[in-house]
Structure 1
Amino acid sequence: MNGFFSGMPPARDWFYGVRTFAASMIALYIALLMQMPRPYWAMATVYIVSNPFLGPTTSKALYRAIGTFVGAAAAVLFVPMFVQSPYVLVVVIALWTGTLLFLSLHLRTANNYALMLAGYTLPLIALPVVNNPLGVWDVAEARTEEIFLGIVVAAVVGAMFWPRRLAPVFNDSVGKWFADASTYSLRFLSRSVQPEEVSALRASMVATFNSLELMIGQLPHEGSRPQTVRNTKELRGRMIHLLPVIDALDDALYALERRTPELVDKFAPLLAATCEWLEHKDADLERWHALKDQLEALQPAPEALDDRKQLLFSNAIYRLGEWIDLWQDCRSLQYAIQCESQDSWRAVYRHWRLGRLSPFLDRGLMFYSAASTVTAIIVASVLWILLGWTDGGSAVILAAVACSFFASMDDPAPQIYRFFFWTAMSVVFASLYLFLVLPNLHDFPMLVLAFAVPFIVVGTLTVKPQFYLGMLLTLVNT
């Protein structure tokens, strides 16, 4: 029994599943009460927007509203203009989706969702009405209203009941990075490097500060103060610098040990003092100043640097001082973030690259992903037109959505296969409800009871990354 229950989601995940289901039922009830034509859009939007944390829920709600509005406006503009020329309309839709997808791939924060959504919202609205272009305004209006309804309900319920802030999770991740970075630095300072250990620590540190980028982008959406957000960005920039700074220090110490072994004993007390300073987890300025004074006392005079041995010794002191300043900055930033201090933070480590940190953008891969999306939409649309298949627009929509979802991956094919598998499974589940369950229901409370168990369970599983895609597709398409 213990083994069975150990694999069950924790209570907070079940709270999230219940909360999201309740919000979806509220949205569905309001949509039915207002006699909206497609109330399931409001219900599905709740699951798409909702997140266990307040910040991601708020940001996704905002950017989904923007993306839906822009995509709906594009449908109202383009469909009447090009409906008499099907192939031209297909090219316009494909280029619109591909262009906005290409632009969204340049953004590494939550606002890229608005561009991506605006891209595939156009085919979602435009293609079902090509046989009745006069109805494009009604469809665009209905989708916008129902999605806005779902957004508002999800945001309000998420903020009122069991809201979880992302800031504590961010602080925990930062704490994990400091634990790894302390051990990593200590191994190099104490000259006890084990390749397997430091490789694992390095990989863990890289994974942590990569995950912090998405968290930092969400913090403003849950009410974090501007100075706190600036401090998080400063901290992440210094986290990235720590690895090359330690590598430079290790190279300097290695050169000192190999070429001037007689000076190593002179340098050893300084390394011991630094290791002792590293064990303190605060950013005490007095200890930092005392350590810096020790460095300055050992620094050779400028005229002595003509001697190669003294130059190597001076370089080792400089590299150690660089690491000490960087670590002091990291600790002081950690303290400022945890205390949510709004005082202006002052750096002691300065480097010209810190102000120019920017993510690497593989524009070739981005263009390839966007071009693949354009090609998939055009090919699916041409097959639809040539075959004369009435509901063939659904295939085009699925192609646009699937290509957009996984465009940032190096190899999106496996995820696209999963996408279509879970979409097919949702058709099976929807058929069971449509033919076996719904005909026996006669009022809204019975509908809620019929949906409760499967939707709460599946909604709870969306918290787990490994289940998110499949469970969300099942919920939304069912």
Structure 2
Amino acid sequence: MKRQHAIKQVSSDTFGWRAGMLRAIADAGTEWATTDGLIWLHLFKTVLAALLALGIAMLLELQQPRTAMTTVFVLMQPFSGMVLAKSFYRIVGTFVGMLAALLLGALFAQQPELYMIGITAWMGACVAAAVRYRHFRWYGFVLAGYTAALIGIPTVMQPNGLFLAALTRAAEVAIGIICSAAVSALIVPRRSSLALQNALQSRHLNFTAFAMKVLDGAVERGTSERYFADLVDEVVGFEATRAFAAFEDPGMRSRSQVLARLNHEFMDVCARLHALHQLRKRLRDNPSVQVVQATAPYLHELSQLLGAHKERRFDSSDAARIAIRLKAFQSTLPARMRATRRPLESDEPQCLPDFDTAGELLYRFVVEFIRYIDTYASLETNHNPARERPPVRYVSRTNAFVVACTFARTAAVVGAISWFWIATNWPSGGMAVIGAALTCALTSSAPNPVKLALQMSVGAACATIAGYLVTCYVYPAVDGFPLLCTMLAPVLAAGTFFASRTKTAGYGVGFTVFFCLLAAPDNVVVYAPDLLINNGISIVVSMLVTAIGAAIVFPVQMPWLIARIEGDLRSQVTLACTAPLAGLAQRFQSSTHDLMHQLRMLLPKRSRRHRNALRWMLATLEVGHATIDLRSEIERATYASDVHARWKPSLDRVTRDLAQLFERPDRAHAERTQISVRAAMRVVQQVLETVHTDREKRHDQQRILSCLHFIRTALLDKGAPFDTR
């Protein structure tokens, strides 16, 4: 019996060991499939689409099948929605670029100097417009620019072939677009809509966890600033993902406006949470312990309500349940806050402004969170209250000097290489101009175009060497398309692998794009290694000239240019103070986040200037939101002008002084703004005493006082970025 028991024990242990091993292997496989496996899938699909485009272009006997291959490598993205969005804008950009090449060819036939001036101006205008209109609209403008160069420059001396070249180019690009879209959508597709849903869930869960820490007062110093800075990238990235998810999924397309509203409401909730956090921090720094203690139970209760959901997955039904609890909390909050306020009226009257402001901020946060969670809960239902509200539009803002400098930089680089080509009659000068146009276009949205251009030049140099080896030793030994694909696949896969990595993307893009342009096979392969080397040298030289131009001619990281963007960020308060109130909160939120995202792209993340820009963004959101709230309350309380003649002028002076302070932040403007805020508070307090018996009017004036008090605390904050020396 003992022997049988021992055998059973050994068998059980062996089975348990094998089961554990299988689980470990399964977990490792799942982790690989969701990390590195996705990179290899993207690599396989990109190479397959490129070879498919090459084969179809050869089968149709087009002039340059390599163009179809190049289109695939420029176009292919991990998500099918990205590919479809880029395909749409590429078609539009290619068509516009083709028309531009034909028009310039018709205007300046056999006049290469004037033709190149036209191409240079067109390239500069397209790249500047691409910087102004970002995301996938950027790609349409970029394509319109360098498609005109790719079509027109090879035929600048032979205008009779321009029309045929334009038609051929359009056909080759169309084949690349179709192959990219087909492979991305049909072979193990990765849906942008699914990624968007996962991003929504993770963003909500992370925000809820952070909000609980803020409400419980458990946020460490500096943590909140880093978190709100990361939220800037999330908000801008979500908007881009929403835009191209609409291309692949009709359901997402029908809910696109709802998702846009959800993103806007998320920005509102974040701004309210930050304002509440800032006020609590200031109350802890000042002797207002009674206010902190009086509001702590409500904050803790709200924290518990937000933390009621403990699962890692969050869907619309979970959102609906939380919305019900929050609405019950909201309905009882004003009466409970009034009951807590009564003892303070007699014992601590000096704490009443802080208590009223804290209560108002808490109530506004709950209202905004309920609005956000209601929209979240209705994403999967037919009835959506967000559809019944005015449409939301994300507003991006780009400084006019940035656009002008981009135009000047592109025109200077392309114009200099064009002049050298015409002056010296350089045989490979046309390819150099094409290389410069491509590099200027592809680096226009990079935070460090010099680094990216240098990486692309190294990739192009490696592509020249690889193209020479392939042309001399591979093509002569290849017989048939299957063997050609077998030989090209490893080379293309290597370039795609480097392009899929963030740190080596420039090398990979330079290698794949220019290997296709230089050495990809045509229907009739021309064995001219000397021409290939000359063209490769011209492309590398053009990239180096582009890098020099990006470093010398209005570099993107010039201090004065960054200061202009910072000035635009601060001037958002002027927008909040002066613009019409209809849709103002949406424009203010989105453009402020967009400007800060630009600064985060340009400034090193842990630098002093980045921290200063972040502090200005948070101060802008605080004061801007409070100003919009103040103006909204003023519109509802116009009767107060009859009660006190200085009521409206004093409040108008506050908004006027706030705008001037953020336009020119110095000690004089800060002191003047503080004086105007205090004066307005005295006037509003007098009106409040006059209308105290009318409940609605009393609440109107109390809300106005809370807005003014919060603005005053923001101006007096020791951590504020105002220059008061």
> How many angstroms apart in 1 are the aligned matches of 2:441 and 2:51?
29
Partner residue in 2 for 1:126: 152
Amino acid at match of 1:435: C
Are 1:345 and 2:385 matched, yes or no? yes
The correspondence for 1:38, drawn from 47, 64, 76, is 64
Partner residue in 2 for 1:289: 327
Deviation at 1:259, TM superposition (A): 4.9
The correspondence for 2:237, drawn from 211, 235, 240, is 211
The correspondence for 1:324, drawn from 352, 366, 369, is 366
Is contact 2:127–2:145 with CA below 8 Å preserved after alignment? yes
More divergent stretch after superposition (194-203 vs 431-440) = 194-203
Deviation at 1:409, TM superposition (A): 3.7
> How many angstroms apart in 2 are the aligned matches of 1:444 and 1:140?
27
Larger C-alpha radius of gyration, 1 or 2?
2
Deviation at 1:231, TM superposition (A): 2.3
> How many angstroms apart in 2 are the aligned matches of 1:142 and 1:227?
37
More divergent stretch after superposition (394-403 vs 457-466) = 457-466
Is contact 2:110–2:158 with CA below 8 Å preserved after alignment? no
Partner residue in 1 for 2:303: 275
More divergent stretch after superposition (93-102 vs 296-305) = 296-305
The correspondence for 1:253, drawn from 270, 275, 280, is 280
Is contact 2:76–2:180 with CA below 8 Å preserved after alignment? yes
Is contact 1:54–1:166 with CA below 8 Å preserved after alignment? yes
Partner residue in 1 for 2:356: 314
More divergent stretch after superposition (296-305 vs 328-337) = 296-305
Secondary structure of the structure 1 residue equivalent to 2:338 = coil
> How many angstroms apart in 2 are the aligned matches of 1:253 and 1:10?
44
Are 1:232 and 2:259 matched, yes or no? yes
Amino acid at match of 2:359: I
Are 1:402 and 2:439 matched, yes or no? yes
Deviation at 1:160, TM superposition (A): 1.5
Secondary structure of the structure 1 residue equivalent to 2:136 = coil
Secondary structure of the structure 1 residue equivalent to 2:247 = helix
Amino acid at match of 1:366: V
Deviation at 1:227, TM superposition (A): 4.3
Is contact 1:370–1:407 with CA below 8 Å preserved after alignment? no
Please list, as runs of the form range in 1=range in 2, the aligned pairs for 1:127-166 lying within 5 A after superposition: 127-166=153-192
Pair 227,51 (structure 1): closer, same or farther in 2 beyond 3 Å: same
> How many angstroms apart in 2 are the aligned matches of 1:372 and 1:238?
39
Is contact 2:497–2:508 with CA below 8 Å preserved after alignment? no
More divergent stretch after superposition (220-229 vs 381-390) = 220-229
Is contact 1:181–1:201 with CA below 8 Å preserved after alignment? no
Amino acid at match of 1:56: M
Partner residue in 1 for 2:211: 185
Is contact 2:112–2:157 with CA below 8 Å preserved after alignment? no
Is contact 1:231–1:336 with CA below 8 Å preserved after alignment? no
Normalising to structure 1: TM-score of the pair?
0.89
More divergent stretch after superposition (461-470 vs 84-93) = 461-470
> How many angstroms apart in 1 are the aligned matches of 2:512 and 2:447?
27
Are 1:472 and 2:509 matched, yes or no? yes
Pair 445,347 (structure 1): closer, same or farther in 2 beyond 3 Å: closer
Q: Deviations over 1:306-357 (max 9, x none)?
A: 95533322221110111122223333333444x3x34223499x9x9x9675
Deviation at 1:149, TM superposition (A): 1.2
Pair 130,188 (structure 1): closer, same or farther in 2 beyond 3 Å: same
Normalising to structure 2: TM-score of the pair?
0.60
> How many angstroms apart in 2 are the aligned matches of 1:134 and 1:100?
26
More divergent stretch after superposition (153-162 vs 200-209) = 200-209
Amino acid at match of 1:430: G
Partner residue in 1 for 2:403: 366
Is contact 2:378–2:384 with CA below 8 Å preserved after alignment? no
Please list, as runs of the form range in 1=range in 2, the aligned pairs for 1:391-430 lying within 5 A after superposition: 391-430=428-467
> How many angstroms apart in 2 are the aligned matches of 1:36 and 1:54?
27
> How many angstroms apart in 2 are the aligned matches of 1:470 and 1:182?
40
Are 1:89 and 2:127 matched, yes or no? no
> How many angstroms apart in 1 are the aligned matches of 2:396 and 2:275?
22
Secondary structure of the structure 1 residue equivalent to 2:419 = helix
The 4+ residue runs of structure 1 with deviation greater than 4 A are 5-9, 254-257, 301-308, 354-357
More divergent stretch after superposition (118-127 vs 192-201) = 192-201
Secondary structure of the structure 2 residue equivalent to 1:221 = coil
Partner residue in 1 for 2:223: 197
The alignment's C-alpha RMSD in Å is 3.0
Amino acid at match of 1:121: T
Q: Deviations over 1:350-386 (max 9, x none)?
A: 9x9x967523312211210111101111111111111
> How many angstroms apart in 1 are the aligned matches of 2:366 and 2:72?
48
Are 1:114 and 2:127 matched, yes or no? no
In structure 1, list runs of 5 or more residues that go unmatched. Answer: none
Are 1:442 and 2:479 matched, yes or no? yes
> How many angstroms apart in 1 are the aligned matches of 2:156 and 2:254?
50
> Which protein, 1 or 2, shows the higher relative CO under an 8 Å CA cutoff with sep ≥ 6?
1
Amino acid at match of 2:276: L
Amino acid at match of 1:331: I
